[in-house]
Homo-oligomer: A and B are copies of this chain.
Amino acid sequence: MFEPVKNQRVSDEILQQIREAVLTGKFQIGDRLPNERTLAEQFAASRTSVREALRGLEQQGVIYTKKGVTGGAFVADLDHRLVSRSFQTLLKLRKVSINHIAEARLIFEPEAARLAALRASPQDLNELEEVIEKMNSVVEAGNPPNLFDLKFHKLVARAAGNPILEMLADSMLEVASQVISDLHPSLEVLRHVVKRHRQVFEAIRSKDGDLAFTLMSQHIVDVQRRLGPANGNRRKVRSK
């Protein structure tokens, strides 16, 4: 019924005002905010409070800061990573199991592959191919290819042209990859993964959405099956 009269910290009030100014376009992407001392003066507050506000905005991804004479606080170009980061924190803190992630991936990634087949730009295709080849050479050199494996899946999600799918992929893969890389898969397994990536890529390139969907599905189930023995209770559902 009644609102708290005034309880906010000074730094919160400042944060709010700057955030609003940025969100309503009073500052454009890349614009530099007034320097800390000026802001403190304008808000009739101490530099300390201004700085605390700026740290908060930085964490929100709204601004970034640079040092030096040309430095200052600049308006950042917000993208889906903003959501990704908070979602990741949530996943980590809530200790979501690897099985839950696998299940969610199995829902999203095949659809992402299907959409990618319909929407991928030439540049998307180039990047996909490039990352597959990189993974291949790293694998053949006997090194762990986690990063490129990850990147492939992220690129597919990006090619799907829906930032929500992209942010989902980013969040879940980031969390899952830590677990997966701990398994130290064999050379044979890794070669198979590369092969699968190539197949998915070909399906996307030839705009065969259904095929891309199916292949991605199989790929994820494959990898998941390999993880399976390590943690028992997967796929007990679906059997119906």
Give A residues with C-beta under 8 Å from B.
Answer: 11, 22-23, 48, 51-53, 55-62, 78-80, 82-83, 85-87, 89-96, 100-101, 103-104, 107-108, 111, 115, 118-119, 161-165, 167-168, 171-172, 207, 209, 237-238, 240
Contact = CB atoms under 8 A, between A and B. Distances in A.
A82 B94 CA distance: 14
Contacts of A59: 55-57, 59-60
Contacts of A104: 108, 162, 164-165, 168
Nearest to A19: B89
B11 A55 contact: yes
Contact of A91 (B96, B103, B164, B165): B164
Nearest to A92: B23
Given A55-B56, A118-B237, 16 more contacts: A51-B52, A53-B55, A56-B56, A59-B60, A62-B93, A79-B90, A79-B95, A80-B90, A80-B96, A82-B90, A94-B167, A96-B164, A108-B108, A164-B172, A207-B240, A209-B240
Nearest to A160: B103
Contacts of A103: 162, 164
A57 B86 CA distance: 11
A119 B82 contact: no
A84 to B, nearest CB: 9
Given A101-B164, A111-B107, A164-B104, A238 B118 contact: yes
